[in-house]
Amino acid sequence: MTSVITPPAALEPYPSTDGVGVATIAFVPRSDFRAVVAALKADGFEMAADLCAVDYLTFPTRSLPVGVVGERFEVVLNLLSMSKRQRVRLRVQVPAADPVVDSLYDLYPGTEAMEREAFDLLGVRFAGHPDLSRILLPEEWEGHPLRKDYGIGRVPVQFKSTPGPR
């Protein structure tokens, strides 16, 4: 027996689909992202379980709901309400020409490292983040290695000398 889960009211204006193991997948415009997340937090979504970014450079014709214009980047946020036993996934389209989304740090402090990782590896910036610096790569690293147009083989390989015969 499956139960019908009603999507949160904050997601009603936006295109959404049912996800496997996720109550609702909603496509929220970048301009509304922070306000929708704040409304979901007030509605009982206590935890930001995951935040990541995706580069769709090589897959621009992916399937999206009517009215959603696909951009090169997408920020994906998974929220969890333990009290309601419900999950929500928000997908935000982010253009390559202006890869910036509002930070959620002050709403969900646990997103601090996740936002830094998305910045470090894909170059998506989070406006209002308290320390948007690299988290996995050295500060002097050039580029963002998970971008689909990042040159393969640009990472220099360092070998240690092998010990001689004994």
**CA separation for the pair 82, 59 (Å, rounded):** 34
The architecture that CATH gives domain 9-127 is: 2-Layer Sandwich (3.30)
**CA separation for the pair 2, 121 (Å, rounded):** 39
Indicate the DSSP class of residue 155: S
pTM comes to 0.86
Residue with tokens 């419900």: 86
Burial class (CB within 10 angstroms; exposed 0-12, middle 13-18, buried 19+) of 149 = exposed
Classified as helix, coil or strand, 17 is strand
Tens of each residue's pLDDT in the chain, 166 residues: 445 567 788 998 898 877 666 668 899 999 999 999 999 999 999 999 999 999 999 998 899 999 999 999 999 999 999 998 899 999 999 999 999 999 999 999 999 999 999 999 999 999 999 999 999 999 999 999 999 998 776 556 666 666 666 6
